[in-house]
Amino acid sequence: MSFQVTVQPSGRQFQVNDEETLLQAALREGIGLPYGCRSGACGSCKGKVLEGRVDYGDYQASALSEEDKAQGKALFCCARPIGDVVIEAREVSGFADMQIKKLPCRVEAIERPNHDVVVLKLKLPANEKFEFMAGQYIDFLLKDGKRRSFSLANSPHDAALLELHIRHYPGGNFSGFVFNELKERSILRFEGPLGAFVLREDSENRSFSWQVPRVLHPSRA
């Protein structure tokens, strides 16, 4: 079963399938709703449900209070509609045109500019064109189903190799793995590009266009 979503004030419409959140469906349709963590923690995707009802999903109370809910607000990264809905949300142009993909990558180089930072350079499959905007990030997809988010550090115009700067956090499973076990030529999997905090290339003052999500800096992982 699918439901229709109308976004106000733009009036754009899209369908949401059973297994999708409002945000997932919007991004699939190229509608740029703002977001950050995509896990109900940061509040970047908060918007208003003007008509209809939603299942709020799993979220952190710090991101959506009872007062928010009483005012009709929901986190669109977690919320699933129960019937057709009309929502109110700001739309962000640009990043929604970037196709989000799940891809393998090969570790081309591991550089250590200082004692607690590693620069990872990742090579994509030869037939893959990976487009992103400055300010976006990728999620590494780990074998246990967890994800680790890191900002892309290279220019979108020079995407032959993706570059990530990973800080070592004592006790962090993933950064510990990167520092102590990961070898060049290893294969990793990731999803991206993600994030609505992007540099607008067409902007005269080249300002960033959205609020800072928690993944601007590498995850404490």
* Residue number with the smallest Cβ distance to ligand FES: 77
Find tokens 């601007």 and name the residue: 216
Please list the residues that pair with 14 across neighbouring strands. Answer: 5
Could you tell me the sign of the dihedral formed by the alpha carbons of 54, 57, 63, 69, in that order?
positive
Continuous H helices in 81-218 = 173-180
Distance CA 139, CA 29 (A): 21
Closest CB 178 distance from ligand FES, rounded Å: 24
Q: Which is nearer to ligand FES, 39 or 175 (CB)?
A: 39
The distance of closest approach from Cβ of residue 215 to ligand FES in the complex, given in angstroms and rounded to an integer, is 10
> Residue 16 or 45: which CB sits closer to ligand FES?
45
> Closer CB to ligand FES, residue 60 or residue 186?
60
- Beta strand 80-88 with 2-8 is parallel
Regarding beta strands 80-88 and 137-141, do their DSSP bridges make them parallel or antiparallel, or are they unpaired? unpaired
User: Would you say 88 and 8 are in contact if contact means Cβ atoms under 8 Å apart?
Assistant: yes
CB-CB contact of 150 with 164 (8 Å): yes
| Minimum CB distance to ligand FES, residue 38 (Å) | 5
Least distance in angstroms from the C-beta of 41 to ligand FES: 5
Residue with smaller CB distance to ligand FES, 45 or 96: 45
Tokens, residue 194: 């993600």
- Residues forming contacts to ligand FES in the complex (CB under 6 A) are 35-38, 40-45, 63, 75, 77
| Residue number, 40 or 193, with CB nearest to ligand FES | 40
CA–CA distances in Å: residue 106 to residues 60, 70, 121, 153, 194: 35, 48, 8, 17, 20
| Nearest distance in Å: CB 124, ligand FES | 26
Cβ closer to ligand FES: 44 or 175? 44
